[in-house]
Structure 1
């Protein structure tokens, strides 16, 4: 009996000791604290979240809004671009990221506590983190078959989708165009460029700061230093799905809309023997794919003369018959109204307008514009023909309203529509599900009766 009691006590003592050892095991938070205590920089500020606001960021949302912050601990206070800890209400770190004193995004989280425990080499180490994330992005694109013998234009870094919020990198052959929309990206631009050169076969870098977004980040033009490695040519030739394009690096976005690559290729598979109209054609991406797919004739319409000049050069570059593909400079609405007055119609119509709803606050007025444009496009589509219609407005895509807008357009046009295909950006534009705001492109194929 005594022996049993002693054994039981000993067993309980062992259980308690095991329990204590588990409770005192190193955690990610102690790891971060230990690194601050033992390594430079030692004066890392702590951004403490309000009660009830922590779980959203533990679940992976990378954007810590200023309204979620209770207080900031640190003397002197952190400056824009500084590395900071993000902590819960008990001041226990949940991760670290880049601070911004001016933006509504107070911190862009880079690494959570459990990630730091799995990969301590990246904890509070900007250069190592950039190297790791960019290498991971390179490997992801390789797994998607990019680049290939048929395609050398693609997106390498897609901001939050590649865990580098505020950084976009498009690759065109051996040139990388880097679009910066966050203050931390500007601060660490030399690290970023060095990582790109180490991790890829890139020989030239063009740095394109997104001034509108950087202004919201508290930066002015005078804050920006010279970027890029060597002056890139004004125009370069790229290859996408076997079609060659001359693109201008002074054009829209990074110079080329790689996000529509898979949608353009799909269009080529349904264009044989069809008459095709491409509204807001830019440099002819959809139009050239339709022609390559065997369309009887293709008409592209845009208001940008420089874009249309490139589109016409792309006809020659691909040895296409200029009698079967033509580009016209005209306003989209005016062109469609004129075509309706002539009773013109097409088997396939593509409508890919510019961003009409850059902010949620203009979504209502933008919905009216989308409805009117699509109503005209539906009226130009032959009975049982196809309309491929797009929205690159994040506010529209995220609202879930686009299909309702299209249904309203069909009612205006007196037509019946059926959804055949719904798509977004190409697979090299990954989206973090914890930050659905990263989704912006809608591409919907309709049958129009």
Structure 2
């Protein structure tokens, strides 16, 4: 930035001495950023703004508008010099405007605004302003394009700056020699001021000279930039149209403001209340792949959609996971359900192998645990050489071929039993085909309503006996029914069954040591050691047989299902434990009441593993009453110093934290003092997603009762 002094305008023309005026070379203020009314108006007046140079500072009025100070020889108040500022700033006198001779008319009031300013604009000025306004109208649709706006502003600013400097040089009276570097054309120079001896009567105002053509290149540049931006926008629109027709395109599910955090952190269940809108034509249906974005349209992941479910989207992959490894397998599987299933199943199988599953003594385990394995709605258990798939989400049913192919590839097992839970799938908008409209278990599992949550179901005897497979757990052999309760076997209690076996074995050894110390003549057999176990709601006899194999002298299993009792008895026979373990078909509440009435009908260990009593939070209050009643009866059947292993597979009870409170109340009603020894959940193969606590459903609590 530099300045120079000017002794006057056109020396000797006016005959009036003037004070030197500093001439400051500065660019005009930047244009407004957005397509606002003020921005359009300012842009439309660009030719005049370059002719009547604006004052410095953002928001100042252009020079020549508003108040005028100083006096000319002709009696008209000249405009302030460019860069002189307003409000009295500057060097006193002013310079006549570029391209305009002084008028002989009386000056306007100092406080008057130039409402009549358009009347001073000749036809060419009006045409230039109209052309500029038309250019702005063409640009309105492009002003939201950041690149176009940036290019346009840079072009306009460069042209206006050069023209502004040239105009200021001409107004200062610099000749061509002094201003050879100026880019302003010669036609833009100001005419000489009239002589001081001019007649007093107002002379006819001479026609204004042709305005400087400098604005035309600027408008042309703006038009060129607009055309380029329009071309780019058209190309982008064409690309978007092509992408929308490609198989990789997916509808966009936009979340409401402040609703994205839960899902960014890993919760895979996008409930309907969190969705603001769904963008896509046609609207996505059951199982369609969608991209989930926050309120600012930033993607947070992708998943499968269901317009009928309370969970509108089940997330399958997070954007953060893909960004962490852009060339990794997860990024390669983006928006491809089949590829993602193969990847997730391979990861799930590898995780189980790291746990020793399958192993020489155990070949029954959970392969896929829904949200825990990032495949919400899909549950798969391995039963020996068979995989039982439980379907509780519409997308799993839709992609059945891909699911089965991924399971075969990950496990090498070809025998798959497909078990859709149609009562739940009905809420997902699906209906069973005619060939699958068969009688469902009386107490079908309630998985899926509140996420991955285990349940009970009492299957029909014909279904459970129709086909059996042999499995192994901790060296014990079991018949499992793929069409029975759950997926045919309760692999989630594997660790708790092993714990029971260790406890019984320790008690047997302790009794033997006590008898030996007392000099007893007992042979020390398991029958004489006297460890007794009661297994309530025994199903296939897992707890009962684990206790019998550990050396218990007497084991009784109780279940209300004929098929379950028969299955447990067959398992006892399979392991040579039929002489130790017996099984009774009865309602467990009735059985315990009768046992309490009998004197001495108590056990060293009582196991209570009832079916799901609270399928949802709405039934939690009633379920707590039932749990309390059952546990009170069970505690009365435990010998002093004995153990109660009590369980709940109701996710609502486990997640509410009320299970321990219920146990305390039951102990009070039973008149017993309880000491907590162990609290456990499902076996590790039932992995959980920490961001989805609703996936935790099983509570196993071991108490010592006095």
1:239 corresponds in structure 2 to 472
1:384 corresponds in structure 2 to 641
Dislocated runs of 4+, deviation >6 Å = 223-226
Q: How does 1:312-327 map to 2 (within 5 A)?
A: 312-320=569-577, 322-327=578-583
CA drift at 1:132: 0.7
Deviation string, structure 1 residues 151-198 (Cα, Å, up to 9, x no partner): 010000000000000000000111100001001101111001011111
2:16 corresponds in structure 1 to none
1:420 corresponds in structure 2 to 677
2:414 corresponds in structure 1 to 203
1:19 corresponds in structure 2 to none
Picking from 235, 239, 250, the partner of 2:483 is: 250
CA drift at 1:212: 2.3
1:373 corresponds in structure 2 to 630
Query: What secondary structure sits across from 2:254 in the alignment?
Result: strand
Unaligned runs of 5+ in 2: 1-238, 438-464, 509-530
Contact 1:116 1:122 in 2 (8 A): no
1:121 corresponds in structure 2 to 332
Structure 2 residue 399 is the aligned partner of structure 1 residue 188: yes
2:532 corresponds in structure 1 to 275
Query: What secondary structure sits across from 1:128 in the alignment?
Result: helix
Structure 2 residue 409 is the aligned partner of structure 1 residue 152: no
Deviates more, 1:201-210 or 1:152-161: 201-210
How many Å separate the matches in 2 of 1:50 and 1:224?
A: 42
Structure 2 residue 327 is the aligned partner of structure 1 residue 89: no
How many Å separate the matches in 2 of 1:412 and 1:313?
A: 37
Query: What secondary structure sits across from 2:423 in the alignment?
Result: helix
CA drift at 1:203: 2.1
How many Å separate the matches in 2 of 1:233 and 1:304?
A: 16
Query: What secondary structure sits across from 2:417 in the alignment?
Result: strand
How many Å separate the matches in 2 of 1:55 and 1:268?
A: 45
1:103 corresponds in structure 2 to 309
Contact 1:385 1:447 in 2 (8 A): yes
How many Å separate the matches in 2 of 1:43 and 1:239?
A: 46
Q: How does 1:60-79 map to 2 (within 5 A)?
A: 60-79=266-285
TM-score relative to the length of structure 1: 0.89
How many Å separate the matches in 2 of 1:431 and 1:216?
A: 24
Contact 2:248 2:335 in 1 (8 A): no
CA drift at 1:323: 2.9
Q: From the superposition, tell whether residues 41 and 149 of structure 1 become closer, same or farther in structure 2 (CA, over 3 Å).
A: same
How many Å separate the matches in 1 of 2:363 and 2:248?
A: 44
1:138 corresponds in structure 2 to 349
Picking from 435, 438, 449, the partner of 2:695 is: 438
CA drift at 1:44: 1.5
TM-score relative to the length of structure 2: 0.57
Contact 1:146 1:152 in 2 (8 A): yes
Unaligned runs of 5+ in 1: 1-32, 227-231
Question: Of Structure 1 and Structure 2, which has the larger fraction of its residues in strand?
Answer: 1
Picking from 308, 318, 321, the partner of 2:565 is: 308
1:4 corresponds in structure 2 to none
How many Å separate the matches in 1 of 2:579 and 2:321?
A: 58
CA drift at 1:37: 3.1
Q: May I ask how many residue pairs the two structures share in their alignment?
A: 411
CA RMSD of aligned residues (A): 1.9
CA drift at 1:319: 1.4
How many Å separate the matches in 2 of 1:299 and 1:52?
A: 55
1:58 corresponds in structure 2 to 264
Structure ranking higher on relative contact order (CA contacts 8 Å, 6+ apart): 1
CA drift at 1:338: 0.5
Structure 2 residue 547 is the aligned partner of structure 1 residue 336: no
Contact 1:186 1:224 in 2 (8 A): no
Structure 2 residue 603 is the aligned partner of structure 1 residue 397: no
CA drift at 1:271: 1.2
Deviation string, structure 1 residues 226-252 (Cα, Å, up to 9, x no partner): 9xxxxx971111111111011222211
How many Å separate the matches in 2 of 1:350 and 1:161?
A: 28
Query: What secondary structure sits across from 2:571 in the alignment?
Result: helix
Deviation string, structure 1 residues 136-155 (Cα, Å, up to 9, x no partner): 00000000000001001000
How many Å separate the matches in 2 of 1:175 and 1:194?
A: 14
Contact 2:384 2:469 in 1 (8 A): no
How many Å separate the matches in 2 of 1:302 and 1:87?
A: 49
CA drift at 1:38: 8.8
Contact 1:174 1:201 in 2 (8 A): no
How many Å separate the matches in 2 of 1:212 and 1:333?
A: 28
1:27 corresponds in structure 2 to none
Contact 2:628 2:665 in 1 (8 A): yes
How many Å separate the matches in 2 of 1:223 and 1:110?
A: 31
